[in-house]
Amino acid sequence: MKKIASWNINSIRIRTELVEDFIKKVNPDVLMIQEIKCLDEQFPECFKKHGYKAIINGEKGKFGVATLVKNKIKIKKLVINDEILEKEARVVGVSLEETDILLINVYTPNGNPIENNEKFNFKIKWLERLKKLCENYILEKKNLIVGGDFNVIENCKDAKEFDKWRDDALGNIKIRKKFRELLSIGLLNTVRLFHNPGSHFSFWDYQRASWERNDGILIDHFLISPKTTKNIKDMKIDANYRDKKKPSDHVPIWIDLDL
């Protein structure tokens, strides 16, 4: 059994202890982290003592993704080679050699404010390029898992109060259609196998007492290729981490794979 986790940590250097706590509790084989908000060389080294190596795509003060992999697992970094996907530090990919699984860790652009055409259109282009990247792997019949913060509310029930997100770049119909186009190439949103829409959220804003009112949304996902579907045994979302001291506005999610 392998555990693959994902968490938008909203600044890794502020919340290192939370990640260490999660590692001790869940013991994931892989942890994909988003919004690390630091350069590669600023990424905390403490995870080495827990037996992990880090593949990092960092950026000063914003964005940034990192994938922690247990030292015993042989990996190879994937070459993305796409100017839109790599314009900002939002994606990093690795291949798990022994299981022939490709992992793509994503932090999709937010796209707000929606009136800002440059930001909104960049999000659309970014999702289109992600689809193209994944489609190539699907056509090659690879075992593909795309995980992270997609900044998309796929289903209306994935928000406690969807109406207030309808004109936001997370709930806008154009963005939701782009996400479904990504799914249409053969990817399955893992959460749909285990949880009904509206039963779990992964993000609660810091404002308006969103956590206290459970005014959340589900925007963190694992998308899996057809070959990998048979290996998925469970998916969990741990909302308790939103109630910790100095929490991220997102909580960790993870899947169990029978490999």
Q: Rounded distance, CA 28 to CA 255, Å?
A: 9
Q: Rounded distance, CA 215 to CA 250, Å?
A: 13
CB atoms within 10 A of CB 256: 16
Lowest mean pLDDT: which of 36-45, 160-169, 223-232? 223-232
First CA to last CA across the chain, in angstroms?
A: 6
% residues pLDDT > 70 (the chain): 100
Q: What is the pLDDT of residue 18?
A: 98
User: 98 exposed, middle or buried (CB, 10 Å; 0-12, 13-18, 19+)?
Assistant: exposed
94: phi then psi, degrees, rounded to nearest 5 = -140, 155
Q: What is the pLDDT of residue 259?
A: 81
Residue 1 has pLDDT above 80, yes or no: no
Query: Residue 154's domain is classified under what CATH number?
Result: 3.60.10.10
Closest CA to 148 of 220, 84, 238, 224: 220
What does the pLDDT look like over 178-189, one tens digit per residue?
999 999 999 999
Q: Rounded distance, CA 89 to CA 42, Å?
A: 14
User: 32 exposed, middle or buried (CB, 10 Å; 0-12, 13-18, 19+)?
Assistant: buried
- Tally the domains of the chain: 1
Q: What is the pLDDT of residue 227?
A: 85
